[in-house]
Amino acid sequence: MKGFVGLCFFLPGILFAEINPWNLRPDVRILTRKEVSHIVMERRSDHFRVTLIVSERFPYNYKALSHLFFFRMEDEKKAFELANQMDKYLDTGKAFTITLNGSEIQTLVWGEP
């Protein structure tokens, strides 16, 4: 019985625990609409880019710096579809997780880790 009561008190805390972004590795970011101000498509000589303009994680946004993170895409249609998909996903209020290699986005996980 004591185990069941303990489980009732501690299980919701584990299930609904939030991830602290300051505890993540430096190359991992969780992004929401609040951090992503623009989604831009760029044409390069050998590829297309979907670029996210992201504000720095800082309590005072007027002091924040912007950073550019990009996906490298082969064709314009795939880049356009990815940009629209990310825009619609962020508009729902959900977050996605990216893993970076410099400024290039290596992986995208829909939702928080």
Q: Is residue 4 part of a domain?
A: no
Q: How far apart are CA 64 and CA 43, in angstroms?
A: 27
Does 7 reside within a domain?
Answer: no
Is residue 39 scored above 90 in pLDDT? yes
In a domain, 70, yes or no: yes
- pLDDT above 80: residue 12: no
Overall domain count for the chain: 1
Nearest to 106 by CA among 6, 25, 33: 25
Q: Is 42 helix (H, G, I), strand (E, B) or coil?
A: strand
If one compares 29 and 57, the residue with the highest pLDDT of the two is 29
Residue 22 pLDDT class (50, 70, 90 cuts): low
Specify if 5 maps to a domain. no
* CATH number for the domain harbouring residue 105: 2.40.50
Question: pTM, whole model, 2 decimals?
Answer: 0.72
**Distance between CA 56 and CA 89 in Å, rounded?**
20
pLDDT confidence of residue 41: 94
In the chain, what percentage of residues exceed pLDDT 90? 50
**pLDDT bucket at 18, cuts 50 / 70 / 90:** low
Separation of alpha carbons 43 and 60, rounded Å: 33
How far is it, in rounded angstroms, from Cα 100 to Cα 97? Answer: 10
- The answer to whether residue 2 sits within a structural domain is no
Indicate whether 32 belongs to any domain: yes
Return the minimum-mean-pLDDT range out of 5-14, 40-49, 71-80, 91-100: 5-14
Tell whether the model's pLDDT for residue 31 goes beyond 70.
Answer: yes
Higher pLDDT, 41 or 55: 41
Which range marks the domain in which residue 101 is found? 22-110
Distances (CA, A) of 103 to 13, 29, 53, 70, 99: 35, 12, 11, 6, 10
The Cα 22–Cα 6 span in angstroms is 29
